[in-house]
Structure 1
Amino acid sequence: MNKVLLFYPNAEDKAHWLPYAILTLGTILADNEFEVVLIDEVLYAENPREIEKIVEQNIEDTLFVGISSFIGNQIRNGLKFAKIIRTYNCKVPIVWGGWHPSILKEVTIKSEYVDFIIQGQGELIILELANKLVSKDNRFSDIDGLIYMDNGLIKVNKERKFVQRSELPNYNWELIDVKKYIVEDKAISDKTVSYISSQGCPLNCGFCSENAMYKRGWYANTAYQMYDDINFLLKNYDIDGISFYDSNFTVDKKRILTFCELVIRSDLKFKWAAAADILFLRGLTNEEWELLRKSGCTRLLIGAESGSEKILNLIGKKFKPKDVIDISEKSIEFGISLYFTMIVGWPENPIDDFQKTKELIESIREKTLEHEFIIHIYAPFIGTPLYQYACENGYIPPKTLEDWANYDYYKITTPWISKEFLEKVEDYRMHLNISYNMNKNRKKYKKDIVDRGE
């Protein structure tokens, strides 16, 4: 019995990305002769009964079930799936991994629907656990990074050291139907798929849980591995766009520029977008900006966060509002648009910060309407540098795994934010969206006229 079911719960947002969290685990298991069944819940949104059918067909000879989860909806949907598993086979072990179980391990392991937790980077841990279970060896204390219950006591093994993604197997694309994940992305192309080339981030942003998960480490594929994967995807699945879902794509400048050069030299034709750090972009020469453009970069996601220098210091950012303005102007010179994420509603001076953030946005929009802005409300999350500060200011966090299942970081409410403040933020969001879409429609109309020769 060497079959493993790996489940990726639906996050219930609009994004439709490849489930790399279970693909990378499935890859290393398949490479070691385990039979792997990947279940991405989002593919069954219109017919959820199909998931139960997959369980029915496979559960009798399943070695264990794996569930990867962030917070909120993924916990809720992961628990629903775990309950289905328990209904069909109450003895098969259920293994959880991902951000939430790794960070809130004590809360998670107490659930009756959790037998093991894989903490942090899971590929090597899940392989060792699979080998233990298939050999019926119940001595789990020597698996670094594993958490489990033993006679009612929580056992937390020592943490496992992370390894570079270049030391792990390349993604096994045969485990998944890539064609089901090809989407239209207006900022990239009509036939775009997501790709993850690295994990973690060395920055220490006060609101971000990356440092709690990856300890400020960064673990990446090489430029050559990235190129090989993307070349394979383009040639085998008729796509022409890549959306890099790395938390910070631009940590290693040499890696990025080498990748761009490989793409240009091989005349690989596709467009791409990624998340970039402002300090990385600030340090680029014109020649390096041109490399990004020639390799197909059309858009970069920028965590500008705030127009208040005081707040930027509070949350650990090393740039100033002027740097954001400078980058917004430089990118337009090379035909690369920016997608700015802003966060408002901090515990300290939220009204003043919101005003300064609007001023920063409007100073950019006065010069160009090519860039897009999205505004989030600050959501405290355990393990982040600002979490304790939020609690000291009256925030009361969820207590149980089921409570965290109802945590919605897009609709979070905190005691220092009023309903009136939220309404003002929503009004401004609407203003930005309408303005951006009007500009895009105007450009499309002009292009259509030119194409028709009018």
Structure 2
Amino acid sequence: MTAENQGHARRARLKRVVVVNPANYGRNMAGLRPPFGLLTLVSGLMGLGVEVIWIDADLIRSRQKVFAELRDYLDCDLLMIGGLSTAYKSIKEIISFVESSGSSIKIVVGGRVAKDTGDVVWKFNPRLDMLCRQEGEFVVKDYVEHWPDYKKVRGIEYRMGDDIVVNDVAPTPATFADVPRMRWEILDKSYFAEQGFLLTGRGCPYKCGFCRKKDSLVEKHRSMEFEEILDDIRYLLEKRGVNKITFVDEFFMQNKKRVENLCHAFQTLGVSFSWVCTTRANIIGEGDVPLLRLMKESGCSAINMGLESGSQDMLDKMNKKLRIEQSERAVSAARRAGLKIRPTFIFGFPGETRRTALESVRWRRRWGLKGGFFYATPYPGSDLYDQWLQRDSVDLAKEEAWLLMGPNLNYCNVNLTDMPDWKLRLLGIECALRLNPKRFISKKIQGLKRRLKGS
């Protein structure tokens, strides 16, 4: 521990904290990804001299095992739980367990579930003490310095009797330089079984209607320092033994000069590896073929791209800020460079009709983009979610039931179109068959086998 950290430890009132990564029951283990927000939160706490106990419920997936592990640490000062709204069921279970145990440990919930569904979290979890709607790593310093005086902790809300007190907003740095480095070492080897995931930036200036990014905190893109990216890559390659890395940034290719410099740096690391990134279609075109070829030479094998629809009407309704011809130029450029495109498409967004759905199918077939599609799903924090709440007059009880159900965009959880349910289901089947009949039949057979095995 450095002298600076020792100084923090001597004056810290917050001594021991349990941080729980809640289970995301709707995601299978093959989709296990590092909880980047919690990793930086843990790093911030440890850097300030706080002892952190890490419990990964998303990895354990057994309620009883999680509770048994947590029971040993209920004498800590604080229990921090953070995650997406899809982890709400696990968060509620953990809070209920603490309540039933009779422990007096203070509980704070953060992450997108707090930011986007805070009213639900407060109402149906009376044992909850605090809620953090901001990025937690920028709040922990106040926790450490002022604990247990909630009034001085910027960026949180806390319960006082029957009232919820909202504190001042915590300052959020404009760059990634002040974000604590992630503590990779706390993660189990299961996170690196097939590949490594790396987040090198946050934020997206676009406001697509289906995305959980409508708040101002994430509008400006912030990137990690160049050398820090290389340090993390070296760690993943040398210490964790991965040979493939997926960059999960929503806007990885925003700064093309940075991408070019990274490609050159990858070629000098002395270790070959393949990598995948994500970008928007309107960012790349025919003029970027040389850069795309450089990416391929440095190990890039594919680009994830949210094309969403082959119907301009639907793209406009989604507020995608994308033209069909831009998608075509992006696909063409990537293919000229020898890169594989891994597109995503959405079916059933409000305004979808048989005409728009089949228009999208025909466009995809013309460009050889068969694959499947995701169903439009209202996730908290998106404009689509607000539309659904208003359209169906959803109160807090119904909203919590939706969160507990764990909506999954691989299925039609709710009909958001003007079509009857039966017509939407039939249209979905028709589109899937027109796109890739072998894939559709194979998935149906696999589903039948799972049901027979379960019975």
TM-score (norm: length of structure 2):
0.84
Q: Find out whether 1:127 has 2:124 as its counterpart.
A: no
In the alignment, what sits opposite 2:186? 175
In the alignment, what sits opposite 1:115? 129
In the alignment, what sits opposite 1:25? 41
CA deviation after TM superposition for structure 1 residue 104, in Å: 2.5
CA deviation after TM superposition for structure 1 residue 99, in Å: 0.9
Match of 1:51 among 66, 70, 88: 66
> Aligned in 2, Cα 1:428/1:75: closer, same or farther, shift over 3 Å?
same
Q: C-alpha offsets along residues 157-186 of structure 1, whole Å, 9 cap, x if unaligned?
A: 233343232212221223223x221233xx
> What does 1:79-118 align with in structure 2 at a 5 Å threshold?
79-110=92-123, 111-118=125-132
Alpha-carbon distance in structure 2 between the residues aligned to 1:116 and 1:103: 15
SS in 2 for 1:51: helix
In the alignment, what sits opposite 1:71? 85
CA deviation after TM superposition for structure 1 residue 37, in Å: 1.6
Alpha-carbon distance in structure 2 between the residues aligned to 1:11 and 1:115: 23
Alpha-carbon distance in structure 1 between the residues aligned to 2:119 and 2:387: 22
In the alignment, what sits opposite 1:308? 311
Match of 1:165 among 176, 181, 190: 176
Contact 1:9 1:67 in 2 (8 A): yes
> Aligned in 2, Cα 1:391/1:115: closer, same or farther, shift over 3 Å?
closer
CA deviation after TM superposition for structure 1 residue 433, in Å: 5.9
Alpha-carbon distance in structure 2 between the residues aligned to 1:409 and 1:19: 19
Q: C-alpha offsets along residues 236-280 of structure 1, whole Å, 9 cap, x if unaligned?
A: 111111112223322332322222221123344111112111122
Amino acid of the structure 1 residue aligned with 2:392? Y
Contact 1:249 1:274 in 2 (8 A): yes
Match of 2:50 among 16, 22, 34: 34
Amino acid of the structure 2 residue aligned with 1:265? T
> Aligned in 2, Cα 1:203/1:284: closer, same or farther, shift over 3 Å?
farther
CA deviation after TM superposition for structure 1 residue 413, in Å: 0.7
Contact 1:6 1:67 in 2 (8 A): yes
CA deviation after TM superposition for structure 1 residue 427, in Å: 5.2
> Aligned in 2, Cα 1:350/1:157: closer, same or farther, shift over 3 Å?
farther
Alpha-carbon distance in structure 1 between the residues aligned to 2:225 and 2:287: 20
Q: Find out whether 1:298 has 2:301 as its counterpart.
A: yes
> Aligned in 2, Cα 1:115/1:272: closer, same or farther, shift over 3 Å?
same
Alpha-carbon distance in structure 2 between the residues aligned to 1:431 and 1:156: 52
Q: C-alpha offsets along residues 200-219 of structure 1, whole Å, 9 cap, x if unaligned?
A: 21111122111237341222
SS in 2 for 1:104: helix
Match of 2:162 among 152, 157, 178: 152
RMSD: 2.5
In the alignment, what sits opposite 1:279? 282
5+ residue gaps, structure 1, are 185-191, 366-370, 439-454
Q: Find out whether 1:378 has 2:376 as its counterpart.
A: yes
Amino acid of the structure 1 residue aligned with 2:274? K
Contact 1:6 1:39 in 2 (8 A): yes
Alpha-carbon distance in structure 2 between the residues aligned to 1:437 and 1:353: 20
CA deviation after TM superposition for structure 1 residue 434, in Å: 5.9
Contact 2:193 2:242 in 1 (8 A): no
CA deviation after TM superposition for structure 1 residue 2, in Å: 1.6
CA deviation after TM superposition for structure 1 residue 39, in Å: 1.5
- Bigger mean CA deviation after superposition, 250-259 or 426-435: 426-435
In the alignment, what sits opposite 1:260? 263
> Aligned in 2, Cα 1:306/1:153: closer, same or farther, shift over 3 Å?
same
Alpha-carbon distance in structure 2 between the residues aligned to 1:127 and 1:119: 16
TM-score (norm: length of structure 1):
0.84
Q: C-alpha offsets along residues 63-117 of structure 1, whole Å, 9 cap, x if unaligned?
A: 1111112223x10011111222223343111111111211222332232142111
In the alignment, what sits opposite 1:445? none
> Aligned in 2, Cα 1:398/1:37: closer, same or farther, shift over 3 Å?
farther
Contact 1:223 1:256 in 2 (8 A): no
Contact 1:69 1:98 in 2 (8 A): yes
CA deviation after TM superposition for structure 1 residue 391, in Å: 5.1
Alpha-carbon distance in structure 1 between the residues aligned to 2:300 and 2:440: 21
> Aligned in 2, Cα 1:284/1:131: closer, same or farther, shift over 3 Å?
farther
Alpha-carbon distance in structure 2 between the residues aligned to 1:160 and 1:290: 43
Amino acid of the structure 2 residue aligned with 1:170? R
5+ residue gaps, structure 2, are 1-13, 442-455
In the alignment, what sits opposite 1:399? 396
